[in-house]
Amino acid sequence: MSSNTGKSSKEPIFKTNWCDIPAEIKLKCIRKLEFKERWSLRDTAKAERSLVDSQKIKFSSGYLMSNNYSCLSVTLVSENGNIAFSEYLKNEKNVFKLLKFIWKVGIFENLKISRGYIIFDDVHDSDDLFTENAELLSYTEKSTAKNIDLEALNKENVIFILQKLENGVETIKLGRKLNGPLDDIISNSHIQNARYWHIQKLRDRTDLIFKIAQMWIDKNAEIGSTFQVCFDYYKTRSEFAKHFSDRIVSVTHERVRIRTNSPDRHILLEHGIIDHCHISQNFRLMVISAEMKESEYEKNCEKWIYYLNSVPYKEGDSDAESDYYYDDY
Amino acid sequence: MSSTEQGTSSAAPAEPTTAPESAAAPEVPESFYYVHGKDKVVHKVSAGALQHSALIHGMISNLGYTEEQAKANPFPFENIDGDILQMVVDWCNQHKGKPTPPEDTNLPKQKEKLFDLVLAVNYLEIKELLTYCCKQVAMMVKGKSPEEIREIWMIPTDAEDEAAEKEAKKRAGKEAAGETAAAAGDAK
């Protein structure tokens, strides 16, 4: 088919055409289009763009990854498991155009946003995909994601993204690049309401655990609310017990259990210790039922520790990781 | 006026019979209605088949027409081409009393008729067929670029749209001026 915008001699000229269809029927047709075709249709004319933008589209997963050169790798997986869209964009204008469109129409079961294919902290804090772009900063649309993984994003970007999410985020996974006081992270409503959240690695922010426990006490968080973190600092458990000394229910070598203001729920801090690993200290904080017996504690901490220390996402191994993460919390 | 009869093998009303005590309630004879499109060709369609159309179903539900009355009063759908109405009637007959499958392979393959069919089906409020049609419309542009989509669906560019709008305004202004002048002439 000719790529010219003029009429092709091969294609029939229909008596009735797309432009004769009422908007509500066009919307029905647009809902049948895959993401790629919607992305193309919105480039045909302003009127079509406005229609396309009004229709949400569900994805089982979305992976948005950028590197240091304003490039963006996008993979969107539709609800039936097929790849709905997979592109590597280099042009900055196109990158932001696509990002904004995805953000506006996407409803994600799982959304992962990463600053490049990194394994360790090899990306500088100044590499801000979102917060250095004025056009994106002023963008007010909100996206919907049930489980979000913000790997290797610094605090400013994490907050920026969380602020642009609709309510209903259930799990939040944060990576290794969070530094400084995290009060603005803890005060974020998605963090406060998440069923599960974790920070993959954090240096010397023991008070974070206290603050999260206090936040849960203050807001009477749901039983099952869970936070996990990996610290370099091993005294967290004893300092937690000291900090909440007036609320102590029990203290053991591996766990500290405290009362909340609600008689039906307690908060349990667990120190996950693996024989062969002494470098990192893994902690899990949970709101539990006050009725829970010590015999009901999860004996094997490796399962939850594994998740904190798992290798960051690489294309091709996402399924194994997400299966564990999202099914278990 | 000609007439076509699809799916009407039981057109003659069944003789009333006395049902045996153990049998279920006696079968109600199927009623038929008549529709025609722009070409005035009348199609005889059973009430069962017409149930697919919320519009027609609403129209006939309280009529209580006899066969003769129904025949004498075909529903006119002057805004629907005869061949399109034929497609709709065929689809309704094929799917009479059956659950509609997730995929429909019996839809017309002619692309040039699809948009007309969409409009007709939307007007007649045939929900399932509209769903299939919309899917078929979507399939037309599968894997196509913006330029290709514009070409296939004949979507004017923004510039073309603006030019057409300007032209229409200009024409409307001229017509209004002409009418004013004519009215002034009449007054004199």
pTM, rounded to two decimals = 0.78
Question: Is the minimum CB–CB distance between A163 and chain B shorter than 8 Å?
Answer: no
Q: How far does A79 lie from chain B, in Å, by closest CA?
A: 17
Give B-chain residues touching A48 at CB under 8 angstroms.
155
B18 min Cα distance to partner chain A (Å): 50
- In this structure, which amino acid lies at residue A88? Y
Q: Is B168 on the interface with A (CB under 8 A)?
A: no
Of B116, B131, B158, the CB nearest to A46: B158
**Residue A22 neighbours by CB under 8 Å, 6+ apart:** B122
Q: Which two tokens stand for residue B160?
A: 């073309």
In chain A, what residues touch B131 (CB-CB under 8 Å)? 28
CB within 8 Å: B146 and A40: yes
Which residues 44-83 of chain A have a CB within 8 Å of chain B? 44-48
Say if strands A72-78 and A57-66 run parallel, antiparallel, or are unpaired: antiparallel
Give the closest of A5, A30, A34 to B157, CB-based.
A5
For residue range A219-252, list pLDDT tens digits in order.
999 999 999 998 876 678 888 999 999 999 999 9
What is the ipTM, given to two decimal places?
0.75
Mean pLDDT on A100-105: 92
Give how far A286 is from chain B: nearest CA, Å. Answer: 45
**How does DSSP classify residue A221?**
P
- HSE-up of residue A106 (Cα within 13 Å, Cβ side): 33
Tell me if A272 sits within 8 A of A301, measured CB to CB. yes
Domain ranges of chain A: 12-55, 56-175+314-329, 194-311
Whether the CB-CB separation of B136 and B107 falls below 8 Å is answered with: yes
CA angle A323–A326–A327, rounded 5-degree value? 70
Tokens 């996950």: give the residue.
Answer: A272
User: Largest Cα–Cα distance of chain A, in whole Å?
Assistant: 84
pLDDT over threshold 60, residue A2: no
Helices (H) and strands (E) in chain A, counts: 12, 12
CB of A222 closer than 8 Å to CB of A287: yes
Concatenate the DSSP letters of all residues of chain B into one string: --EEESS-TT-SPPPP-PPPTTS-SPPPPPPEEEEE-TT--EEEEEHHHHTT-HHHHHHHTTT---HHHHHHSPEE-TTS-HHHHHHHHHHHHHTTTSPPPSS-S-S---HHHHHHHHHHHHHHT-HHHHHHHHHHHHHTTTT--HHHHHHHTTPPPHHHHHHHHHHHHHHHHHHHHHHHHHHHHHH-
Q: With an 8 Å Cβ cutoff, is A4 touching chain B?
A: yes
pLDDT for B58: 84
Contact A37 B154 (CB under 8 A): no
Q: Is the per-residue pLDDT at A327 higher than 60?
A: no
Contact A37 B155 (CB under 8 A): no
Strand partners, A265: A289
Q: Phi, psi at residue A177, to the nearest 5°?
A: -105, 15
CATH assignment of A194-311? Answer: 3.30.310
pLDDT tens per residue, range B87-110:
999 999 988 887 777 676 666 666
Domain range B3-8+27-155, CATH class: alpha beta
Which residues contact residue B48 at a Cβ distance below 8 angstroms, ignoring those fewer than 6 apart?
Answer: B30, B96, B97
**Residue B107 near chain A (CB below 8 Å):** no
Q: Cα separation of A227 and A225, whole Å?
A: 7
Within 8 A of A1 by CB-CB distance, chain B residues are 144, 148, 151-152
DSSP lists the bridge partners of residue A46 as none
As a whole-number percent, the residues of chain A with pLDDT over 70 amount to 78
- Cα-Cα-Cα-Cα dihedral sign, residues A173, A179, A180, A184: negative
Q: What is the mean pLDDT of chain A?
A: 82
